[in-house]
Every structure is written in structure tokens, then in C-alpha cells.
Structure 1
Amino acid sequence: MSKMRILLTGGGGMVGRNLLEHSHIDDFEVLAPRSTELDLRDFNAVSVYLEQFKPELIAHAAGKVGGIQANIREPVGFLLDNLDMGRNIVWAARLAGVKRLINLGSSCMYPRNHSAPLSEEMILKGELEPTNEGYALAKVATARLCEYITREDASFQYKTLIPCNIFGRFDKFDPAHSHLLPAIIHKIHTAKVDNNPSIEIWGDGTARREFMYSGDLADVIVQSIKNFDSLPPYMNVGVGYDHSINEFYHATAAVMGYKGHFEHNLTKPVGMARKLVNIERQSLWGWKPKHNLQEGVEKTYSYYLEQHQ
């Protein structure tokens, strides 16, 4: 029996690279062109590629991503690049007759400043977080395009997974581009090597975030491909609990053996007070992550050391 042919966008990014090393990825024939081979911002190039290779399913994991500093600094790029990539791959897929597509959204799509867990029905029900609004708008538009295509013709099933914050192997650790947890790992490692007795935390450290290990996101994507028909049109992917920024620093320091103390800089931006996704649909669908925070940090720090020796 021939394997299902899948097009994976973003194969060179963190999500894509974790997916490509998943233990069951060889169950599929995976096409994973890098951006130098296929520029998703070029609609004609995307259309030609789909007509040539005729994938049976597309997993759209490509995107311009970055932490709070990058999003504040480059809102135009985060809006336009992600909007162009999402629109092009989804619409070209529809025109090429690709019947199944899994779109990777983001918890940034949800309204800001909700203390309760964020459920899938809450998209477009409130103001977005200003610090990453451009990125969020692009993600919302792509998810809605998927929904509209399915609404117009149910033979096209285009579905969106909405993961919580992700960290892990193949992450970005440069402070100018990194998200919270890889930034913490880099800061603590640098302080440890330099024998720095203290580390700065932006804000008072009480903001809460949910983080899932990247290998677990790869696993839910594999399960979504294998069990595509039962996958809901929108489904959050998360661990179901969150931690304060202070707790992330202390947990990471414990894994890395850092003995210093932390100082808070109250002049720095911190983003939303809390962002936790509701995982009821995920639980009913029958999937849960395999790694806790400590295990994820241990694997991520091992990868960090491999890259910085």
C-alpha cells in the first residue's frame, strides 16, 4: 500500500523539524520544501508546486514567529508574511483540489486579558493583545479562510489546531527573537557561565503562561493526520494548566543548577496577564501531552548545550 503524500510547510522551523523527527513520520511520504525551494509568499509558485506534487493532505506549520520584542519591533512583517503564507497555501490548496488541510493557528488568536481558559468559540470575541496583534490577525484570517472553504463545500475539510505556547528542540534562543522559555534558558545559562549572582525578570513575574513541549505538538499533528476525520474543525492543543513567569524561572533554574536570585524590572512589557487554553475538545478527542515542564526543560536545555558548545 502506498503511503499518504503530505506537504509540510515550515519544515525548517521548530514545529516542522520536531514533526520530521517524530517516530511515526515515516508512516507518510512527506514533502517538506524549505523556503528557498518554495516561497509561500509567492502564490503562483505555490500553485505550481501543488499541481506538480499533488499532496493528499497539507500541514501548514510555516510562519514568521518571534517573541514579544520581535512582534513589537516588526508588526508589518508579522502581519504581511503570515497573512500571505496562510492565504496562499490555503487558497492554492482549494484550487488544486486538495481535500484535507491542517492549519496551525496560535493562542494569540484569542481575546486578551481573559482569566478563564480560552475556548475555541472565543475567536473574534474581543480585543487582541496589542503586542502581537499583527501576527494574531494573520492567524485569525487564515483560520477563518479554512472555515469558509469547508462551509462552501464540505468535501474540502480544512481544520485548525490552536496550540498553546510551544518550546523545545530547534527553538530560537537569541533574545531578540526568542519566546519566554528559551529566553529564560539562555539567560540562566549565561548567568551561570558568567557567575552572575542575579537575573532580571520583566515585570513582577505574576503573569501566567501555558507551555507545551514541541515534541508533543508534533505528536498531536501526527495523530491528527492519522485520525483526520474525527478531528474537530477547531481544536486547542495544550497541557491544561499554566505557571507564573516566576515559576518558570525557578523551575528552569532548578533543572540547570543555577543558584542565584531574581530581580524584577517593572518598566518592561509583559503582555497578557494570563493565557490558558481550554482543552476539553482535545481530551474528548483522546489525546494528551507526554512531557511535563521539567522533562521538557531538560530536553530543551540538552539541545541548547548541543548547539552552544
Structure 2
Amino acid sequence: MRILLTGGSGLVGKNIIDAFANTAFEWLAPSSQKMNLLDYAQTSQVIADYRPDLVIHAAGLVGGIQANMREPVNFLVKNLDMGRNLLMACLQHRVSQVLNLGSSCMYPRNHEAPLSEDMVLTGELEPTNEGYALAKIVTARLAEYIQREQPGLQYKTLIPCNLYGRYDKFDPKQSHLIPAIIHKIHLAKTQGDANVEIWGSGEARREFMYAGDLANLIVMAVSRFSTLPATMNVGLGYDYTINEYYQAAAEVIGFQGAFVHDLSKPVGMARKLVNIDKQIAWGWQPGYSLKQGIARTYDYYVKELQ
């Protein structure tokens, strides 16, 4: 089987490449210079040249709450263009299988109960990352429509919970919660700071899964693609408070100081937990604990980025 991966230089893409390292699949992971997803003609030509049996769409403009609030136009337009151009090029050249990666930010804000796949487009989105969420929703719907109109094509979407791991972005201007926490606590420890600041009360809850677990699921999905639901959440099935993530990272890194809360800062949704009933029924569960995942991520941070 020949697999084409978009976003091979990103967090998810690099973890996927690692996970497939010892498999027999033929891999193609063109750079954005070779396959610019913002350019339909170029995207279509690459699909025509490579003739993949399966495409995994992991490319995207991603960032944390600060980046999403600062650049909503980019997060909407660029992610929408990437998803549309890729799916329509795959349709044009009759690629039989596409695995599209969505995001749990596609779900309505402020739901205490776990978010099931049928809840997309049933309520208001979180304003701090609305542009990114809209792009992901449209791409997932387009995959669904293509499969509906073309029964011979299998265009499916995984909706992962929040991810972190090796190859993450640790720059505070771009990073998500856990890499940002690792960076802040590492600096505090090395500089001898007594305190680390937490935005808000720290009581908001988040579900973060180690990216290597998602990559392992994708290996399984490629081998069992016909059994994969058309849309499926991927997650832990439980969550932690922001304070608990800070505490876990402090224990892994060895920071002995205190945490202080800035209640004037935005915190996003109070809770965002995905329902994993379909995932369990399909037969998969993540393997890394929170501290195991943070330890592997911190090891990468120290060795590669310091």
C-alpha cells in the first residue's frame, strides 16, 4: 500500500512517521514546498504523480490560545484551503481512502458531559479558536459528503482530543498547554524562580493525549480501514484540571516552587472531554499515562531544543 501523508514535519506527522518506521507500507511525505496545500493545482498534480492508495491529512496551521486569538483569519482561511484542496484533489484522482484529522475544538463550548460525534454543529463554538474550529468542521463535512455521493470512496475523519508530545512546539507564542507548561517550569527551575504563573484559577479541565498514542491508532486504522467508523473521536475518556497538569509536569521536571494564578487572563472552555464509546467498540485504548507522556516530551525538549 502506498500512503501519502500531509503535515509530515509537524507534531502529529512526525509521530506518525515514527510509528510506521518498521512497517511494510510505502511512505510519501512531501514537504510543503513540494506539495503546497494552499495551491490546488500543485496539490492535484502531486496526487496525480504519486497515485496513493491512502492519504492521511495531518497538515494544518496550529497553535495555542494566544495564537488563535491573535490570527483568526489565518487559522480559518489557511486550514480551510488546505482541507478543501486536498480532499477535492483526492476526489478528482479517485483516491480510494482518505483519513482526515479533525480536532475536538469542532464541538460546542461549555458542555460538562463527554462530547459525542453527533454533537458537531449543535451549539456555539469556543470564541478563542472559532476560526480553526470552523475550518476543521467544513473539512470533516466535505469528507462526509464525498463519501455519501461516492460510495466507492472511504473518506473518514478522526477527531482527537488535545495532543502533546515529541516534536511539539514549545515557543509560548505558538504552543499548546502542555508544551507551554513544560517550557515555563523548565525555565523556572533552571533560573531558580520561586513561582510559576497559571492563567485563570487552573480549575478548567482538559483532555490531553500523548501524540504517540494517536500515531499508534493510525497504524491500526490503516490496516483495518474498512472497519473504522466514518467519524470517530480519539481520546482518553477522562480529563485533568489545568492545575493537575502543572503539578504533574513539576514532578517530572523536579520543580519545587509554588504556583500563582492570574485571574485576569482568558482560560477558554471550562471543560472539553470527548466521548470514546466508538473508539472502545472499535477496539483501541491509549497506552501512555500522563507522567509517562510528559517525561518523554520533556526528554525531547531537553535533548533537541536546549
Summarize deviations over 1:105-139 as a string: whole Å, max 9, x none. Answer: 00000000000000000000000000000000000
CA separation in 1, counterparts of 2:264 and 2:304?
Answer: 32
Q: Displacement, 1:145?
A: 0.2
84, 96, 108: which one pairs with 1:111?
108
CA separation in 2, counterparts of 1:213 and 1:27?
Answer: 24
Amino acid at match of 2:274: V
Summarize deviations over 1:64-84 as a string: whole Å, max 9, x none. Answer: 000000000000000011000
SS at match of 1:27: coil
Amino acid at match of 2:216: D
SS at match of 1:219: helix
Q: Normalising by structure 2, report the TM-score.
A: 0.99
Q: Displacement, 1:36?
A: 1.4
Deviates more, 1:285-294 or 1:25-34: 25-34
228, 231, 240: which one pairs with 1:231?
228
8 A Cα contact 2:20 2:219, kept in partner: no
Q: Displacement, 1:27?
A: 2.1
The alignment status of 1:67 with 2:68, answered yes or no, reads no
SS at match of 2:100: strand
129, 133, 141: which one pairs with 1:132?
129
SS at match of 1:21: helix
Q: Displacement, 1:272?
A: 0.1
120, 123, 140: which one pairs with 1:123?
120
25, 29, 32: which one pairs with 1:28?
25
Deviates more, 1:20-29 or 1:224-233: 20-29
8 A Cα contact 1:198 1:260, kept in partner: yes
Q: How many residues align?
A: 306
8 A Cα contact 1:110 1:128, kept in partner: yes
2:296 — aligned with what?
299
2:266 — aligned with what?
269
CA separation in 1, counterparts of 2:213 and 2:63?
Answer: 20
Amino acid at match of 2:5: L
2:193 — aligned with what?
196
RMSD of the alignment, in Å? 0.8
Amino acid at match of 1:290: G
2:165 — aligned with what?
168
2:202 — aligned with what?
205
Q: Displacement, 1:24?
A: 5.2
Q: Normalising by structure 1, report the TM-score.
A: 0.98
Amino acid at match of 1:268: K
SS at match of 1:26: coil
Amino acid at match of 1:69: Q
SS at match of 1:38: coil
Summarize deviations over 1:36-65 as a string: whole Å, max 9, x none. Answer: 111000000011111111000000000000
The alignment status of 1:54 with 2:51, answered yes or no, reads yes
The alignment status of 1:82 with 2:83, answered yes or no, reads no
115, 137, 156: which one pairs with 2:153?
156
CA separation in 1, counterparts of 2:285 and 2:151?
Answer: 28
Structure 1: gaps spanning 5 or more residues: none
Distance change in 2, residues 1:25/1:229 (3 Å): farther
Structure 2: gaps spanning 5 or more residues: none
